[in-house]
């Protein structure tokens, strides 16, 4: 019994200290004068690795999810004779929910795990320590560009996902199932509001990008420097990021889309 | 040069991302800059809106000429006060125009349909349409029919 209590307490203290460490880590990486001349090429390289290389998976999944939404929506709506509302359904689902959430999940799997493994391996092979020896701050040189790249790429990826998804929905609804294109767009435009739907979706994706990148980079930096430690850290990244995205999505939806 | 390719690809990525935002804004949500410049507001009171919502369509002869911008309850008359934003290009609606709430199809959305009268004066910003017709309430109709009144 006493042992059980002791373990519980240890777990609580451990959790709190990890949270605190990750907060300090985030502050140390982001605060400080950015070195534009040397930092910008590093940021570009990370934007390429984190953002551009994630484009393929984002575009392909967006296309398929949009097409599935179009098919399912058509089958449901055609019973009520209102299949022209398919544009509205596809657009609202993608812009409000699926765009940011699925992009967040894919981003955690594609870019987050890569970030964790890369930084974890740097730590295991003592590259981070040797940088400190040479007087280079690894937080500024390694971590900060990766964090910023994640923050910038994620909203862009989510918007591309939504647009491709809507295009996929149109492909199925208009070109394949024969919904009239004019009412497809008109219904969509009269029901999707820029401020309430599009901007809230973008805010969601910014929050998800922030959380996913933070978790990924911190897990790599905080990993046990062995091959097993890196694998544990990579798993943790994907699990924690996915849970954080889904949980935060509920909270954000409750705040943004409740009428009162 | 390797670095140069990365720069170009990342630049393209950002352009595509911002372009996606533009598509979401203008194509998907129908945000339009020219609508803001030339609109004027007209009011109308209805007994029963029957599901008309803000951003609903205002049309004349089936052509969209504006949108519902606000709906409040007028506390003095206990009626719904609807604020409509009409396009500035449609500036020749007579003061005795009629505003009716209609349904697109049997189950579709509610919209306001305006038909002109015969007056010589035209509606200007801030005017009120007095001749209104509330939404057709099917349940009320069936109720009247069933009770035989």
Say whether both B47 and B111 belong to one domain: yes
Examine the pLDDT at B3 and tell me if it is beyond 80.
Answer: no
Q: Is B145 inside any structural domain?
A: no
Burial class (CB in 10 A: 0-12, 13-18, 19+), B41: middle
Helix and strand element counts for chain B (H, E)? 3, 8
Q: How confident is the model at residue A65 (pLDDT cuts 50, 70, 90)?
A: very high
Torsions phi, psi for B54 (to 5 deg): -60, 145
Q: Is B90 inside any structural domain?
A: yes
CA distance A148 to A47: 8
B29–A55: do the CB atoms touch at under 8 Å? no
ipTM: 0.74
Q: Which of A63-72, A75-84, B118-127 has the highest mean pLDDT?
A: A63-72
pLDDT the model gives residue A106:
94
Say whether both B54 and B127 belong to one domain: yes
CA distance A256 to A193: 13
Q: Is B144 inside any structural domain?
A: no
Q: Is B143 inside any structural domain?
A: no
**Chain A residues 9-68 with a CB less than 8 Å from chain B:** 41, 44-45, 47-48, 51-52, 55
- Nearest chain A residue to B28 by CA distance is A189
CB A155 within 8 A of CB A205: yes
pLDDT the model gives residue A34:
64
Strand order of the sheet with strand B128-129? B128-129, B39-46, B79-87, B63-74, B57-60, B110-115, B98-103, B131-133
Say whether both B50 and B99 belong to one domain: yes
Examine the pLDDT at A96 and tell me if it is beyond 80.
Answer: yes
- Nearest chain A residue to B25 by CA distance is A194
* Contact residues, chain B, for A93 at CB < 8 Å: none
Say whether both B82 and B106 belong to one domain: yes
Q: Which of A140-149, A246-255, B25-34, B44-53 has the highest mean pLDDT?
A: A246-255
Termini Cα distance of chain B: 87
Determine which of B4, B20, B103 to mutate to test the interface with A (most A C-beta atoms within 10 Å): B20
Alpha-carbon B124 to chain mean position: 17
Q: Is B111 inside any structural domain?
A: yes
- Lowest-confidence pick of A100-104, A194-198, A223-227, B67-71: A194-198
Tokens of A195: 């401020």
**B18 Cβ under 8 Å from any chain A Cβ:** yes
A106-152 pLDDT, tens digit each: 999 999 999 999 999 998 898 888 888 888 888 878 888 888 899 99
**A92 Cβ under 8 Å from any chain B Cβ:** no
- Nearest chain A residue to B57 by CA distance is A190
Query: What is the overall mean pLDDT for chain A?
Result: 88
Q: Is B142 inside any structural domain?
A: no
* Contact residues, chain B, for A166 at CB < 8 Å: 28
- The domain ranges of chain A are 56-256
Min Cα distance A99 → chain B (Å) is 12
Quick one: which of A58, A53, A56 has its CA closest to A157?
Answer: A58
Say whether both B133 and B75 belong to one domain: yes
Tell me which residue range forms the domain holding B6.
1-31
Q: How far, CA to CA in Å, does A127 sit from each of A27, A121, A134, A142? A: 22, 9, 11, 10
Q: Is B69 inside any structural domain?
A: yes
Q: At what angle do helices A144-170 and A113-124 cross, to 10 degrees?
A: 160
Tokens of A255: 């705040």
CA distance B15 to A156: 9
Number of domains in chain B: 2
Query: Rounded to two decimals, what is the model's pTM?
Result: 0.76
Examine the pLDDT at A47 and tell me if it is beyond 60.
Answer: yes
Q: How confident is the model at residue A62 (pLDDT cuts 50, 70, 90)?
A: very high
CA distance A42 to A39: 5
Q: Is B128 inside any structural domain?
A: yes
Spell out a b/e string for B111-148, using b for 16 or more CB atoms within 10 Å of the CB, else e.
bbbbebeeeeeebeeebebeebbbbeeeeeeeeeeeee
Say whether both B61 and B14 belong to one domain: no
Examine the pLDDT at B78 and tell me if it is beyond 80.
Answer: yes
Examine the pLDDT at B49 and tell me if it is beyond 60.
Answer: yes
* Contact residues, chain A, for B18 at CB < 8 Å: 156
Examine the pLDDT at A232 and tell me if it is beyond 90.
Answer: yes
Q: How confident is the model at residue B1 (pLDDT cuts 50, 70, 90)?
A: low
Say whether both B17 and B59 belong to one domain: no
* Contact residues, chain A, for B107 at CB < 8 Å: 80-82
Q: Work out the percent of chain A whose per-residue pLDDT is above 90.
A: 41
SS3 A53: helix
Q: Where are the alpha helices (DSSP H) in chain B?
A: 2-22, 33-37, 138-147
CB A196 within 8 A of CB B30: no
Of A152, A157, A197, the CB nearest to B29: A197
pLDDT the model gives residue A258:
73
Q: How confident is the model at residue B33 (pLDDT cuts 50, 70, 90)?
A: low
CB A212 within 8 A of CB A205: no
**Chain A residues 153-182 with a CB less than 8 Å from chain B:** 153, 155-157, 159-160, 162-163, 166
pLDDT the model gives residue A164:
93
Say whether both B56 and B101 belong to one domain: yes
Say whether both B52 and B24 belong to one domain: no
């Amino acid at each position: 019994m006493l042992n059980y209590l002791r373990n519980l307490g240890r777990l609580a203290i451990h959790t709190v200290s990890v949270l605190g460490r990750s907060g300090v880590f985030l502050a140390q990486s982001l605060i400080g004068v950015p070195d534009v001349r040397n930092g910008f090429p590093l940021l570009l390289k990370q934007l390429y690795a984190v953002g551009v290389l994630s484009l393929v998976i984002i575009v392909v999944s967006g296309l398929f999810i949009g097409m599935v939404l179009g098919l399912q929506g058509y089958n449901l709506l055609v019973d009520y004779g209102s299949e022209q509302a398919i544009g509205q359904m596809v657009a609202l689902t993608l812009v409000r929910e699926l765009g940011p959430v699925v992009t967040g999940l894919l981003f955690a799997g594609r870019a987050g795990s890569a970030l964790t493994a890369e930084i974890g391996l740097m730590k295991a092979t003592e590259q981070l320590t040797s940088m400190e020896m040479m007087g280079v701050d690894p937080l500024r040189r390694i971590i900060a560009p990766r964090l910023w790249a994640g923050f910038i790429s994620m909203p862009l990826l989510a918007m591309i996902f939504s647009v491709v998804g809507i295009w996929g929905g149109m492909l199925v609804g208009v070109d394949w199932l024969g919904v009239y294109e004019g009412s497809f767009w008109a219904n969509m435009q009269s029901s999707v509001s820029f401020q309430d739907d599009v901007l809230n979706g973008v805010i969601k994706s910014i929050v998800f990008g922030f959380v996913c990148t933070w978790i990924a980079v911190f897990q790599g930096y905080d990993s046990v420097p062995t091959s097993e430690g890196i694998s544990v850290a990579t798993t943790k990244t994907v699990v924690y990021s996915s849970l954080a995205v889904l949980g935060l999505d509920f909270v954000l939806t409750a705040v943004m889309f409740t009428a009162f | 040069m390797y670095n140069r390719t990365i720069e170009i690809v990342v630049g393209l990525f950002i352009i595509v991302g911002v372009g996606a935002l533009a598509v979401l804004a203008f194509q998907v949500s129908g945000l339009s800059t020219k609508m803001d410049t030339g609109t004027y507001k007209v009011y109308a009171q209805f007994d029963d809106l029957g599901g008309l919502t803000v951003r609903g369509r205002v049309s004349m002869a089936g052509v969209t000429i504006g949108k519902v911008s606000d709906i409040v309850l007028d506390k003095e008359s206990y009626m719904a006060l609807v604020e409509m934003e009409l396009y500035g290009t449609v500036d020749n609606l007579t003061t005795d125009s009629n505003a009716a709430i209609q349904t697109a199809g049997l189950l579709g959305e509610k919209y306001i349909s305006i038909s002109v009268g015969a007056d010589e004066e035209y509606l200007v910003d801030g005017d009120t349409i007095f001749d209104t017709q509330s939404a057709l309430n099917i349940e009320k109709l069936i109720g009247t029919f069933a009770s035989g009144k």
